Amino acid sequence: MRTALVTAVAGAVVAFLLGLLTFGVQATVHPHEVPLAVVAPPPLADRVTAAASPEVGVRAVSADEARTLLADKEVYGVLEVSPPRATLLLNPAVNPSGTQLAQQVLTGIAQGAGLELTAGSPAVSAAERTVPLAASALLWVGGMVTGVLFVVLKGRRFRPLSALTAAVLVAGVCVALAAWWGVTFSVTAIGFLLAVGVSFALLQAGLFKHLGIRAMAVLGVFYLMAPAVAGQVPELLNPVYRAVLWSWTPFRFSAEGLRSLMYDGSVSTEWWVFGGMALAGVVLLLAGEKAQPDRADGVVDVGVDEADGLPGAEREHTA
């Protein structure tokens, strides 16, 4: 009876936590000061900025400033107005959900002002919007499956080699899938993919070494949680989720970094993030005993002969 109650409560608690950390992110989405910019003559610019709301923040800037803000990813879209026309500018390296929202809002502004709207940025395909986060998730899953199998098959040595090989192979899979979907990567982007894959695989291998199959309790939940957060526009997230989850999840850094490199951008913070993760994985792999095989059931072989370890057998041998 007691076991039945404990297991039932444990299942309910896990369901609550997963719901809170995954579906809760999407259920609480609401815009809050989404940054946009408008380049327009003073009367129209004043009217647009006066219509701003807590959900959307629109500021009037010069043409040069607008393009700088867009290139620096400080705004999700720019509307350049030259009556009777308006040009919509978007940055494909920005979160695609954010650019879609910017397109909707700025299109509404242009239509409300009776302007003829034209697109000033190249169209982005569905594959290009999907690949950065998808590649991040696949790199995580590949390293995680490799670590699980290493534990289940009771691997004794070459754990780092297994992790590094998996990282290279899964990165190759990501490049191949992207090419199949019509997306090509630069050499720098491929190098970034490898760096992300290596950092994921090393960290996971280190956790599996010390926790065994129990590492899945951390890695599996993290996989379910992180992509749901990383794919969201930060200005749409509940402030709690934004601070507690979005601000640090490595899936965000990998997706944003790859998306930037796909469009000839650059990354800096991302290299430090994944370099730190790789270093943490190496430290975990070097720490502790290396000779003991992993056991899926958590039992460690201490090398004691079963017969010699029994009191009865010892007395018979003495006699």
Question: What does the DSSP assignment read for 269-311?
Answer: HHHHHHHHHHHHHHHHHHSS-SSSPP-TTS-------TTTTSH
Residues of the chain above pLDDT 90, percent? 30
Asked if residue 61 has pLDDT above 80, the reply is: yes
**Residue 34 pLDDT exceeds 70:** yes
Are 168 and 160 within 8 A, CB to CB? no
pLDDT of amino acid 52: 64
Tens of pLDDT along 272-307? 999 999 999 999 999 875 444 455 454 545 454 444
Question: Mean pLDDT over residues 68-78, rounded?
Answer: 89
Average pLDDT for 203-212: 92
pLDDT for 277 equals 94
CA distance to 12, 78, 113, 167, 313, per residue, from 163 (Å):
34, 44, 57, 6, 44
The closest of 256, 270, 269, 267 to 93, measured between CA atoms, is 256
Q: How confident is the model at residue 142 (pLDDT cuts 50, 70, 90)?
A: very high
The span from the CA of 252 to the CA of 254, in Å, is: 6
Alpha helix (H) residue ranges in 123-215:
126-152, 159-180, 187-211
The residue among 96 and 138 whose pLDDT is bigger is: 138
Top-confidence range, 240-244, 269-273, 300-304: 269-273
Q: What is the mean pLDDT of residues 64-75?
A: 89
pLDDT at position 51: 63
Q: What is the pLDDT of residue 225?
A: 73
3-class DSSP assignment, residue 191: helix
pLDDT reading at 156 higher than 70: yes
Quickly name the fold that domain 34-119 has: D-Maltodextrin-Binding Protein; domain 2 (3.40.190)
Return the pLDDT at 289.
Answer: 56
* pLDDT number for residue 319: 42
Which pLDDT score, from 0 to 100, does residue 318 have? 44
So where are the chain's domains? 34-119, 126-286
Output the pLDDT for position 96.
Answer: 85
Q: How high is the pLDDT of residue 274? A: 95
45 vs 311: which has the higher pLDDT? 45
Task: Write the pLDDT tens digit of every residue in 1-32.
Answer: 778 788 888 888 878 877 877 777 778 877 78
Q: What is the pTM assigned to this prediction?
A: 0.80
Average pLDDT over residues 256-280: 90
Which percentage of the chain shows pLDDT scores above 70? 89
Higher pLDDT, 214 or 300: 214
Indicate if the pLDDT at residue 250 is higher than 50. yes
Q: Which residue has the higher pLDDT, 119 or 139?
A: 139
Q: How confident is the model at residue 253 (pLDDT cuts 50, 70, 90)?
A: very high
